[in-house]
Amino acid sequence: MDNKAILEDSLTDHRIGAFVTLDIGLARGFTPESLRSVRKPFLIIGAGTDSSSLPTRLESGYLAQYLPDDTAQFVEIGDAMHFSFIQECKPDAEKILAQESPNDVVICKDGGTTSRASIHRQVADLSRALAPLQTQKEYPAGRPLALEGEPAALARYSSGLHLV
């Protein structure tokens, strides 16, 4: 098989039941056509506080723009920044980074008063709400994606979680 045929062949992996992205970068590498063909539940979680080099609307917003409305949901976590989704920083990490690699201090910064641990709990809760949908082979066209327990999740995070 030549390279063109390999690239045009389906890369569908039936082991994957749903998708969750965490303030994705480089999303514009996906073609609109390929995103429109996704028939699995897709939760797009974006940082509500943009960093200058990683604007949420440009990356996660691109996915939300082209994924089918009935399979995708876009949520922003208000106090999260791009690196809020990685592990918590160790004590004194910011001080050490400031001395050794000042441009990397941003990996320990979040966008507001919500702790990184709380942001991680919000991500876990949203992801768990998506879990029951993963057992479906295909997500039927025309049926809107609805996260189970969504009103409760919104009540818990009313000041920092925004459905978009």
Tell me the pLDDT band of 101, cut-offs 50, 70 and 90: very high
Least confident of 59-63, 81-85, 148-152: 148-152
**Rounded to two decimals, what is the model's pTM?**
0.76
Helix (H) / strand (E) element for 50: namely: none
Kindly list the strands in the beta sheet with 161-163, ordered across the sheet, starting from the edge strand earlier in the chain.
Answer: 19-22, 42-47, 72-77, 161-163
Cα separation, 42 vs 45, in Å, equals 10
pLDDT digits over 28-47, tens only? 999 999 999 998 899 999 99
Reduced to 3 states, what is the DSSP secondary structure of residue 153? Answer: helix
Cα separation, 96 vs 93, in Å, equals 5
